[in-house]
Amino acid sequence: MDKEPLIYIDGKFVEKSKAVVSVFDHGLLYGDGIFEGIRAYNGSVFRLVDHIDRLYDSAKSVRLKIPLTKHEMTEAVLETMRKNQLRDAYIRLVVTRGTGDLGVDPSLCKSPTVFIIAEPMATILGPREPKVVKMMVSSYRRDAVDATSHEVKSLNYMNSILAKIEASSAGADDAILLDHRGFVSEASVTNIFLVKDGRVFTPSSAAGILHGITRERIIRLCSDLGLEVEERDVTPFELAVADEVFLVGTKSELVAVGKISGASVGTGAAGPLTRRLYQEFSKVVQRPEEGTPVYEAEAETV
């Protein structure tokens, strides 16, 4: 019988089948919590410092006091990888408001719940061509920055879930959401870029986007390649007439968009710049300086 994966819960490691939280946990009852989705490549956790910093920024914005220091949280992530003897993985780090009485008042919870899941996951990056997906423009609008802003990586994903359901019902792979003004925001769980006449654009913070770790790294990668990325409001028209459109995210990495609401983007295949970024990003995630080593012997050689 295969050994069960071990899950970190509040300082202890328990088998997956025994990893539970209370039905009175406010993360379950009210979506009151935050999380990070993180990737590890070849024994190194990609951009772990950035993910930990964003987690604590999210916590500060919702007045959630994490019971671990950043150093302790970093070590908890690495130890979860070690306990499961993983090298290539997807890591889900979650902090909820914790167990409390019924009612939305956060003061009803005594202490936060912290759990970390690490599962094996191979990269789709490499010598292959980027995956090409079909998208649709959703009728659901991205939550405004003065509402349940997606700048906070919270456990409240109903906005994205409804858009995803709508896309699936229409035969699309995923949805593109507009903001409350009608400008392009992002896809359900990924940031979006478009290319027109050799120039690269991506929606700005004003559109209520998540400040994606992969998004930020792709912007820097473009700069390294001599390409300037303009962060600004993007209209649905600009999306419709783009030469290339691609999505980026921690779990999905980099994906080309072939169709939007039934209309082809460019030739309907991954465009030349998308393919180039895909190949270059494949190299970036393997660089030792881009991550935090999981295993001590490898840390000594970095």
pLDDT tens over the chain, length 302 residues? 578 999 999 999 999 999 999 999 999 999 999 999 999 999 999 999 999 999 999 999 999 999 999 999 999 999 999 999 999 999 999 999 999 999 999 999 999 999 999 999 988 777 778 999 999 999 999 999 999 999 999 999 999 999 999 999 999 999 999 999 999 999 999 999 999 999 999 999 999 999 999 999 999 999 999 999 999 999 999 999 999 999 999 999 999 999 999 999 999 999 999 999 999 999 999 999 999 999 986 666 55
What kind of fold does domain 6-120 have according to CATH? D-amino Acid Aminotransferase; Chain A, domain 1 (3.30.470)
- HSE-CB of 284 using CA atoms within 13 angstroms: 21
CB 184 within 8 A of CB 178: yes
Give residue 301's pLDDT.
58
Q: How far is it, in rounded angstroms, from Cα 128 to Cα 261?
A: 26
Q: How far is it, in rounded angstroms, from Cα 55 to Cα 28?
A: 19
Tokens 């393997």, located at residue:
286
Tell me the average pLDDT of the chain: 95
pLDDT digit string (tens) for 207-228?
999 999 999 999 999 999 999 9
3-state secondary structure of 238: helix
Query: CATH number of the domain at 132-284, please?
Result: 3.20.10.10
Whole-model pTM: value is 0.94
Q: Please indicate whether residue 196 is annotated as part of the active site.
A: no
Give residue 189's pLDDT.
97
Tokens 């993180």, located at residue:
38
Tokens 């993007």, located at residue:
234
Tell which residue, 230, 246, 257, has the closest CA to residue 280.
Answer: 246
Give residue 79's pLDDT.
98
The angle at the Cα of 221, spanning 228 to 48, to the nearest 5 degrees, equals 135
Spot the catalytic one: 16, 60, 70, 153. 153
Q: How far is it, in rounded angstroms, from Cα 42 to Cα 11?
A: 25
Tell which residue, 213, 152, 163, has the closest CA to residue 188.
Answer: 163
Q: What are phi and psi of 50, to 5 degrees?
A: -65, -40
Quote the DSSP letter at residue 16: G
Give residue 55's pLDDT.
98
Q: How far is it, in rounded angstroms, from Cα 271 to Cα 256?
A: 8
Beta bridge partners of 100: 109
Q: Side chain identity at 280, as an amino acid letter?
A: E
Tell which residue, 226, 228, 224, 266, has the closest CA to residue 246.
Answer: 266
Is the C-alpha dihedral spanning 14, 20, 26, 30 positive or negative?
positive
Kindly list the domain boundaries of the chain, sorted by start residue: 6-120, 132-284
Is the C-alpha dihedral spanning 273, 274, 275, 280 positive or negative?
positive
Tell which residue, 50, 25, 58, 51, has the closest CA to residue 36.
Answer: 51
Give residue 287's pLDDT.
94
